[in-house]
């Protein structure tokens, strides 16, 4: 076949680097934005933190015309943004916050092992067992796997019996129940440390060791009949079992910095005087500007007639590219602030009744498209704004994503939010007879009687979302 040229017309959608940068910044919560800005300051030499909160250098212009037009042209004013307001006195002092880090669970166990008279080999095996214990205090690896690992990694031929013996030593350490392989073993280890000096404790020990499966499934009537005890005596034994810890590792105070979760709100809402005043939480976000030093550097390299020396072209090109990158970054931050405030303000107007008093039953059905239509932004933009963002209110810190829910019509034609149904569902379960808890079908009948047309499988879905177990697991004596 002969070669020939053919001309075609096509449409393509491309995202500019600036748009990509804006999208990435929009997704970041406050803590990550602070880290991102600091990283940009480190990577871009022309950016610096504006400690004096001065915008004078940002408005300086580069020379209007430079002859090397392929990389230099007329510069626009550098966009600026305001991260915070100077509403503090010069006398205010920053008080340092000292964070101390304690021992981890593993370190505490190793420290206790040093007080035991163990041989060098047993100490190595014990340390390996401690390293295999989960954060909740359980050893979920079988003995044979530990034996194989010791053989491959340490070159030690340790039998399963020796590992079991050393594991018994580890299980004698604090907290009680550490190193257990099952919940039943964990509770048994804790009860072995106690004196069985009461009928309730002896009965609890018997239930754990001989009737554990029936206890876990809450077949209480069957257990009472099988054990031949009264309800009061059985209830005392169950209360004692519940006083034990199912996860002994959680009892140890692991106070490392990473162990404590912190939530930094992205928005601050003040409703103290009956009006809603919204602001961005920018207390830790540094303000940045383009360094005057590099602007002056370009001025020095540009001759009065607007030309650049050949030996300075590469330097000017490098600084110019960094300045352009800095301007794009500053502009993206400003656009991020504007988009966040615009979206959050629309959410406040939509859910005004809820934000005034915090009553979840007043939440209206709201989906991303509702906010997108009101702000005239894309649904994907709204999704990025609400993702991992929090607002601080007078009734707590709220995850924005939790405010969105589907609507449902009542028999009267009124549209209600799923939050309202979940609230009623939780109230019904809280007020139920714990001896005869309500099944999902009973809850469905109650909601239908209140005018909410809801199926049993939907009730089960909402119950699971509320972390409420099934009726049989809620039963009490």
DSSP per position, 360-411: GGGPPPB-HHHHHHHHT--HHHHHHHHTT-EEEETTEEEEGGGG-B-EEEBT
Q: Percentages helix, strand, coil for the chain, rounded to the nearest 5?
A: 50, 10, 40
pLDDT of 3: 80
**CATH of 405-477 given 1.10.10.60, 3.40.190.10, 3.40.50.1100, 1.20.140.10:** 1.10.10.60
Give the pLDDT of residue 76. Answer: 43
Sorted by sequence, the CB contacts under 8 Å of residue 39 that are 6+ apart come out as none
d(CA 409, CA 412): 8
Rg, C-alpha atoms of the chain: 33
d(CA 424, CA 428): 6
Two tokens, residue 35: 């880290």
Is the Cβ–Cβ distance between 340 and 91 less than 8 Å? Answer: no
Query: For residues 449 and 443, what is the distance between their CA atoms, to the nearest angstrom?
Result: 10
Return the closest-CA partner of residue 25 out of 334, 376, 347, 377.
334
In the block, tokens 């030690």 appear at: 156
| Span 159-217, pLDDT tens digits | 989 999 999 999 999 888 999 999 999 999 999 888 888 888 999 999 999 999 988 88
7 burial level (CB within 10 Å; 0-12, 13-18, 19+): exposed
pLDDT (0 to 100) of residue 182:
92
Residue 453: per-residue pLDDT: 83
Q: What is the pLDDT of residue 310?
A: 75
Cα gap 113→208, rounded to integer Å: 29
Phi, psi for 175 (deg, rounded to 5): -80, 160
- Specify the DSSP element, H or E, that contains 143: helix 143-149
Residue 150 per-residue DSSP state: I
Residues (pLDDT < 50) of the chain are 54-80, 83-85, 87-88, 90, 92-94, 96-100, 254-260
Supply the pLDDT for residue 306: 63
Stated pTM of the model: 0.57
Q: Are 26 and 277 contacting, i.e. CB atoms less than 8 angstroms apart? A: no
CA-to-CA dists, residue 345 to 47, 269, 333, 348, angstroms:
31, 10, 18, 5
| Annotated domain spans of the chain | 16-84+260-404, 105-251, 405-477
Q: For residues 363 and 400, is the Cβ–Cβ distance under 8 A?
A: no
β-sheet bridge partners, residue 392: 268, 397
Tokens representing 167 are 């594991």
């Amino acid at each position: 076949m002969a070669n020939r040229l053919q001309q075609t017309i096509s449409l393509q959608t491309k995202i500019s680097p600036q748009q990509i940068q804006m999208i990435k910044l929009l997704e970041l919560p406050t803590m990550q934005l602070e880290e991102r800005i600091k990283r940009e300051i480190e990577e871009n030499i022309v950016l610096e933190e504006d400690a004096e909160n001065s915008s004078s250098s940002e408005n300086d212009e580069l020379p209007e015309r430079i002859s090397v037009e392929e990389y230099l042209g007329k510069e626009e004013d550098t966009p600026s943004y305001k991260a915070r307001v100077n509403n503090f006195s010069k006398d205010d002092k920053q008080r340092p916050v000292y964070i101390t880090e304690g021992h981890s669970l593993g370190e505490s166990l190793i420290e206790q092992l040093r007080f035991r008279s163990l041989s060098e080999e047993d100490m190595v095996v014990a340390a390996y067992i401690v390293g295999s214990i989960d954060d909740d205090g359980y050893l979920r690896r079988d003995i044979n796997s530990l034996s194989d690992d010791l053989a491959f990694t340490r070159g030690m031929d340790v039998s399963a019996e020796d590992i079991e013996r050393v594991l018994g030593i580890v299980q004698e350490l604090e907290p009680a129940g550490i190193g257990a392989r099952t919940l039943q073993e964990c509770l048994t280890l804790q009860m072995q440390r106690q004196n069985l000096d009461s009928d309730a404790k002896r009965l609890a020990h018997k239930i754990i060791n001989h009737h554990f499966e029936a206890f876990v499934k809450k077949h209480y009537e069957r257990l009472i009949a099988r054990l031949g005890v009264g309800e009061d005596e059985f209830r005392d034994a169950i209360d004692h079992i519940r006083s034990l810890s199912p996860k002994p590792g959680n009892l140890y105070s692991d106070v490392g910095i990473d162990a404590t979760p912190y939530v930094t709100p992205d928005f601050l809402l003040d409703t103290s005087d009956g009006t809603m005043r919204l602001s961005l939480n920018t207390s830790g976000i540094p303000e940045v500007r383009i360094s005057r030093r590099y602007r002056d550097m370009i001025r020095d390299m540009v001759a009065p007639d607007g030309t650049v020396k050949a030996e300075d072209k590469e330097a000017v090109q490098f600084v110019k590219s960094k300045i352009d990158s800095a301007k794009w970054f500053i502009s993206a931050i400003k656009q991020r602030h504007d988009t966040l405030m615009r979206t959050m303000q629309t959410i406040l107007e939509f859910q005004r009744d809820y934000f005034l008093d915090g009553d979840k039953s007043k939440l209206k059905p709201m989906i991303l498209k509702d906010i997108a239509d009101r702000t005239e932004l894309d649904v994907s933009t709204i999704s990025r704004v609400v993702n991992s963002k929090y607002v601080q209110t007078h009734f707590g810190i709220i995850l924005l994503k939790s405010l969105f829910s589907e609507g449902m019509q009542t028999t009267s034609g009124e549209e209600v939010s799923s939050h309202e149904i979940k609230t009623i569902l939780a109230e019904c379960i809280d007020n139920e007879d714990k001896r005869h808890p309500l099944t999902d079908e009973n809850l469905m009948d109650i909601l239908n009687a209140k005018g909410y047309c809801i199926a049993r499988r939907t009730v089960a879905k909402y119950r699971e979302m509320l972390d409420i177990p099934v009726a049989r697991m809620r039963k009490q004596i």
